[in-house]
Amino acid sequence: MKSLDLSWRLFGVWRRNLIVYRRIWKVNFLVPLFEPLFYLAAFGVGLSGLVGEVLYAGEEISYIRFIAPALLATAIMFNAFFETTYASFVRMYYQKTFDAMLATPLSLNEVITAEIVWGATKSLLAAAIILLVITSLGFVNSPLALLVLPLAFLGGLAFGAAGMFFTGITPSIDMFNLPIFLFVTPLFLFSGTFFPVAGLPPWAQNLALLSPLYHLVELTRYLTMGSMEAGALTSIGYLAVFALVFYFLSLKTMRRRLIK
Amino acid sequence: MSGEYPIVEAEEVTKKFGLFTAVDRVSLTVRKGEFFGLLGPNGAGKTSVIRMMYGFSPLSAGVMKVFGLDIATGWREIRQQIGVCQQDNTLDPDLSVEKNLLVFAGYYRLAKSLAVERTAELLNFFALSHKRQAQVYHLSGGMARRLMLARALINDPRLVILDEPTTGLDPQSRHQVWDKLRELRARGLTMVLTTHYMEEAAILCDRLIIMDRGMILVEGSPEELIGIYAGKSIIEVETPGPELVAFVKQQQVRHEELPTRLIIYTDEEDQLGRVIRERFCFEKCIFRHGTLEDVFLRLTGRELRE
Ligand SMILES: Nc1ncnc2c1ncn2[C@@H]1O[C@H](COP(=O)(O)OP(=O)(O)OP(=O)(O)O)[C@@H](O)[C@H]1O
Ligand SMILES: [Mg+2]
């Protein structure tokens, strides 16, 4: 196998993104701060009157407690995925940032890896803020909750790599509608986020097992509430494999796209 | 092993895009301290050659060596020591002028203090110090181009590759860039330049090639090429009379007949020139020196490309 051409230089690219992020950090912090509050207000308060209690992993819990950890997981997905789709696409295509980098000692794989790692970093930052919010609202009752941070990074790598894969094959920026409609939205709705997967017909339950978001939601529930349906190690393993597969696919599609 | 290896050595370099051959067996050598020009009409393959030179495009065939290293294997070491000013503006619009240089220095892993020092130095050299904090999309075309040049020098390169550094600039900015490039040459920097301004190439380049359709047509110093392909002096006649055309043909003078103009290339400045002036030129005759533009147009023809 050809060498991957990876070195610590990739943190130069990561740092570039951090500098840009810090420039508008207040705006960047606002979204993860208020978005979970909106969701909790709309679904947790608004819907819970209709829904009442939810049966999850053999326990009855209030609906708002059920969805609070899911908000962590979906934010992890959205932050990384949007970073390596829209934001990376803008850098690659409109700003020609990657072209400039590829005249320096950076390799293409370093640039792509740094973008994905940056996406995961954004997931981590968002998860940290949301964790603070839901902890202060009393929805966290396990000391394991701090492990949400490394989990957010792993989940961010998985969804960041998937996003970068789509960036490698998407002809124009408008066409990201397609992976969002076919990939992100179904995951968002059917991964045990807003209702337990147990409520689905068996075939759909099996399908949900393939969803990386399902495993991420499961793990955030486990770390914040101490209970989950699936096995923690299986879920971590699934996320890791998913991340690796899409990482190598993204290196491949981006190389085909950029190197002429 | 020091040795006198050339800075750039391309051997039969070829670039294919599918079935289309953009660069066809190009061989060239750039020596240390030289200002080397790469001329040719749109689509000639200049940028393609340059992209192979800094290891962006893999070669379809041939060997490209920079500093004696093969670009295919030594690309990282090579890129550490070259600066590239690409044809497109690739400045980072998310960063300020100063940050553009500082962040770029990070890609070369320059020490922070050195990066700060060189950034200040280069902003000063390119008269951009007052724009240090500006966002790059607020820069004029000339300032953006100068910042591209500054960025290409951040790592103190041994070779600078400039793809059309002055395209789209006004005469003032262009002359300013030329002055800076001459200053760099005086310091012994090796440079490769592409341009569509023949005057620029004639002023700056020690040696150049003219290419068309992916192939090299000629190579030499501007003076040599002008001497061979244009002649010392040129007479341009607008709407020439049939007698003049007949005379030129009969005397077997090198000339070119265009729809409304006749261009006569003469070497003996006095005799033939005087004859034509006295016998045929009552109006609309321009006597001028041969230029690189004459060479270029003669060799690459006058029809439009692409
Ligand atoms: N990625 C690509 N895929 C297909 N064809 C390409 C690609 N890049 C360049 N070409 C073609 O290769 C030829 C040479 O292009 P190149 O950009 O090297 O020309 P150039 O001499 O730099 O032109 P210009 O003066 O317009 O910048 C052109 O016909 C161009 O259309
Ligand atoms: Mg070009």
Domain for residue B158, yes or no? Answer: yes
Looking at residue B128, which CATH number applies to its domain? 3.40.50.300
Residues B119 and B192 in one domain: yes
Is B301 part of any domain? no
pLDDT of A142 higher than 80? yes
Are B255 and B181 in a shared domain? no
> Residue written as tokens 């553009």?
B100
pLDDT tier for residue A13 given thresholds of 50, 70 and 90: very high
Is the CB of residue B69 less than 8 Å away from at least one CB of chain A? no
A20 touches chain B (CB under 8 A): yes
B141 and B280 fall within a common domain = no
Residue B283, pLDDT score: 67
Residues B278 and B206 in one domain: no
Residue A57: left if φ>0, alpha if ψ -120 to 50, beta else—which one? left
Confidence of residue B272 (pLDDT cuts 50, 70, 90): confident
Q: Would you place residue B302 in the very low, low, confident or very high pLDDT band (cuts 50, 70, 90)?
A: confident
What CATH number corresponds to the domain at position B249? 3.30.70
Atom of ligand 1 nearest to the CA of B46: 21
Residues B96 and B122 in one domain: yes
Indicate if B260 and B143 belong to the same structural domain: no
CA distance B231 to B226: 6
The string of pLDDT tens digits covering residues B43-88 is 999 999 999 999 999 999 999 999 999 999 999 999 999 999 999 9
User: Which position has the higher pLDDT, B165 or A31?
Assistant: B165
Q: Are residues B244 and B169 in the same domain?
A: no
Whether residues B179 and B98 fall in one domain:
yes
Among B90, B97, B147, B161, most A C-beta atoms within 10 A, so best to mutate, is: B90
Q: Does residue B267 surpass a pLDDT of 80?
A: no
Number of domains in chain B: 2
B46 alpha carbon to ligand 2 midpoint, in Å?
Answer: 5
Q: In the predicted model, is pLDDT for residue A1 greater than 50?
A: no
- What is chain A's alpha carbon radius of gyration, rounded to the nearest angstrom? 19
Q: Looking at the domain assignment, is residue B66 inside a domain?
A: no
Q: Are residues B217 and B240 in the same domain?
A: no
| Assigned domain for B187 exists | yes
pLDDT at A228: 85
Number of CB pairs, chain A paired with chain B, less than 8 A apart: 68
Task: Give me the helix-helix angle, A25-39 and A10-23, nearest 10°.
Answer: 80
Q: Say if CB B191 and CB B36 are below 8 A apart.
A: yes
Asked if residue B157 belongs to a domain, the reply is yes
Q: Does B296 reside within a domain?
A: no
Residues A83-127: tens digit of each pLDDT: 999 999 999 999 999 999 999 999 999 999 999 999 999 999 999
Q: Is residue B120 part of a domain?
A: yes
Mean pLDDT over each residue of chain B, to the nearest integer: 92
Residue B6 lies in a domain: no
Q: Which domain holds residue B279?
A: 231-290
Nearest Cβ partner for A12 among B57, B94, B107: B107
- DSSP H stretches of helix in B15-111: 46-53, 71-80, 97-107
Whole-number pLDDT of residue B90:
96
Same domain flag for B251 and B207: no
Q: Residues of B with CB below 8 A from A100's CB?
A: 86, 90-92, 104, 151
Provide the ipTM: 0.90
- Taking the CA of residue A146 as centre, how many other CA atoms within 13 Å lie in the half-sphere pointing to its CB? 1
A19 vs B88: CB contact, 8 Å cut-off? no
**CA B49 distance to own-chain centroid:** 12
Pocket test of ligand 1: the residue of B16, B24, B46, B167 to mutate, having most ligand atoms within 8 Å of its CB, is: B46
Same domain, B131 and B241: no
Please indicate, yes or no, whether residues B144 and B279 belong to a single structural domain of this protein: no
Atom 3, ligand 1: residue with shortest CA distance: B17
Sign of CA dihedral A215, A217, A220, A222: negative
pLDDT confidence of B2, banded at 50, 70, 90? very low
